[in-house]
Structure 1
Amino acid sequence: MTGGLQHATAPARTAIVTGADSGIGKATALALARDGHDVGFTWHDSAEGAADTAAQIESLGRRAHRLWLDTTDLPSCAPAIGQLAASLGSLDVFVNNVGVGLMASVVETTYEDWQRILDTNLNGAFLCLQTAARLLQAGGRGGRMVVVTSIHAHQPRVGYGAYCASKFGLDGLVKTLALELSGDAITVNAVAPGEIATHLPPEETRHPHQIPRPGLPLGHPGTAAEIADVIAFLASPSASYVTGASWEVDGGMAQMGAQASSHLTSNRWREARR
């Protein structure tokens, strides 16, 4: 107390991230915690990974709340986001990160696999995003929503029919939400990663930037932290005039074509030749 006046401490900003037990989700949760957010997150695959994420958030001086969620269990999606927001006491930032892939041609994709990919990547995401949007609207102080899509939300790839369909749909949902929530001072943006080294085999000890990818202009895969840094920017006050955008964080893959980037085996494309 100074001069007879008590100065109230501003409440901490809060964020929810889905799928933060590993990879991009984990890196994002930690980036937001470093930026001063208390973080609630869902996890699915690794209880140990989720515990580590929570411990790292707390080591940064922020609160952490975690909850297991399978987004193919559609009725559980909205309650999970609501429960995390209640634990945090508010919601300022929501990051939808959960996603799975499938390598199969369209004619060989079973309906069961198709439904699993669409439920995980799009239908479950819709329910989580809808709930987060309602919470942000009710909070009355604006907010940020960031959705992790894929370069394959912009460019198709052979063998990725179900995945591309889910990500193209998610990209359209982002753009529509950006329009619908603009009057509430809520921005909605997507981050579209290219090849990100989140599932390297144990025998691979090189840093991702040391792994050659001739078909990528930057010549190597990216890291989860490089995606998280862009998400953290879009969640920050510095991105207050960005909405409805999809940021390609892909080492230049989109300029090459998603098919070419992984199939080129030499750097001859860099040469100006007749």
Structure 2
Amino acid sequence: MTGICDGRVVVVTGAGRGLGRAHALAFAAEGARVVVNDLGVGLDGTPDPDSPAAQVVAEIREAGGEAVAHGGDIATSGGAASLIGTALETYGRLDTLVNNAGFLRDRMLVNLDEEEWDAVVRVHLKGHFLPLKHAAAHWRTEAKAGRTPTARIVNTSSGAGLLGAVGQGNYSAAKAGIVALTLVAAAELGRYGVQVNAIAPAARTRMTERTFADTMAPPESGFDAMAPQNVSPLVVWLGSAASAGVTGRIFEAEAGRITVMEGWRRGPSADKGARWDVGEVGETVLKLLGEAQAPEPVYGA
């Protein structure tokens, strides 16, 4: 271990299992003091009687690290404020926020009801916005007091948010919203010493175990390509002071591969200099599409 996060205080949401747990353990191994948030709910968002946050805290402490559990609902203003307050009250500072919490309620669009839409958008998108808002308010206060932080936010999007995924209209929309939120936050918060990036991870967790069912057993090489621990080194680096200058970026992380994602850019264009006639628009648009790159396919299409 490098101790790259020595002295830093890191908050990780949804850190009781899967990717969040892997991130929390990795940060602690690199010297960070960690606030482990987990509401303790099932895959579909229903309450789980055995919240795993305390178990992760115990793992960190048994390894000689420092951690504290937080069981609040970060998709509420009170829960998000309490989360940031826990870091400040326990350790006296906050350096990094990793937004990771989420669950799935997959349906084809014609079968997706309003409650399933609202629940997924709430936990993923609102559950990113509120902790980010409360953390940013603290860092802005610090910066205005002349104590500009070396602060980091790492958000969690998905390939579904970048390309879409059949049967995941709610999840894809929420994860696409997280990308846009990341870009806006990076632009707005840089003046306060805050860098904001996002990852689009692929790993075997409760949410993806069906997708990656054929990769449950590690290959003969001993490298488990779908282990959530593969994603955490990138998250830890982005959450450290070593990532200075990197902000407003989206990274895919899967197995041993890291990819810088290049999002929407203006492609072929035609400017008539006046209002288009309906009759000529079609010909022009088809010409532009012929000059443009073909889009990446939607997952599951």
Q: Same fold (TM over 0.5)?
A: yes
Distance in 1 of aligned mates of 2:178 and 2:241: 24
Match in the other structure for 2:167: 159
* CA spacing shift, 1:248–1:61, aligned 2, 3 Å: same
Q: Which residue among 235, 243, 252 is the counterpart of 1:239?
A: 243
| Contact 2:204/2:226 (8 A) holds in 1 | yes
Give the structure 2 partner of residue 269 of structure 1: none
Greater Cα radius of gyration, structure 1 or 2: 2
CA distance, structure 2, for counterparts of residue 250 and residue 233 of structure 1: 16
Question: What per-residue deviation string (whole Å, max 9, x for no partner) do you get for residues 90-112 of structure 1?
Answer: 00111001011221122221111
CA distance in 2: counterparts of 1:61 and 1:12, whole angstroms:
14
**Identity across aligned pairs (percent)?**
28
Equivalence for 1:117: 120
Q: Which runs of 4+ in 1 moved over 6 A?
A: 252-256
Cα separation, 2, equivalents of 1:169 and 1:256: 19
When residues 72 and 94 of structure 1 are mapped into structure 2, their CA distance, relative to the original with a 3 A threshold, is closer
Q: 2:232: which partner in 1? A: 228
Q: How far off its partner does 1:69 sit?
A: 2.3
Distance (Å, rounded) in 1 between the aligned partners of 2:20 and 2:122: 19
SS at match of 2:154: strand
Distance 1:178 1:210, change over 3 A: same
Q: Report the CA distance shift for 1:138/1:198 in structure 2 as closer, same or farther (over 3 A).
A: same
Aligned counterpart, 1:91: 94
> Gaps spanning 5+ residues in structure 2: where?
1-5, 41-47, 143-147, 262-294
Partner of 1:197: 204
**TM-score, normalised via structure 2 length:** 0.72
Partner of 1:267: none
For 2:65, the equivalent position in structure 1 comes to 62
Return the offset for 1:61: 2.8
How far 1:120 moved relative to its partner? 0.5
Q: For 1:171-210, list aligned pairs within 5 A.
A: 171-194=179-202, 196-199=203-206, 200=209, 208-210=217-219
- Give the whole-Å Cα distance in 2 for the aligned partners of 1:136 and 1:62: 25
TM-score scaled to structure 1, two decimals?
0.78
Deviations 1:59-111, CA, capped at 9 Å, x for gaps: 34332111112344454222332233322210011100101122112222111
> Counterparts in 2 of 1:6-155, with a 5 A limit?
12-45=7-40, 47=50, 49-139=52-142, 140-155=148-163
Counterparts in 2 of 1:257 and 1:238: CA distance versus 1, 3 Å: farther
- CA, structure 1 residues 51+205, in 2 after alignment: closer, same or farther (shift >3 Å)? farther
Deviates most, 75-84 or 245-254: 245-254
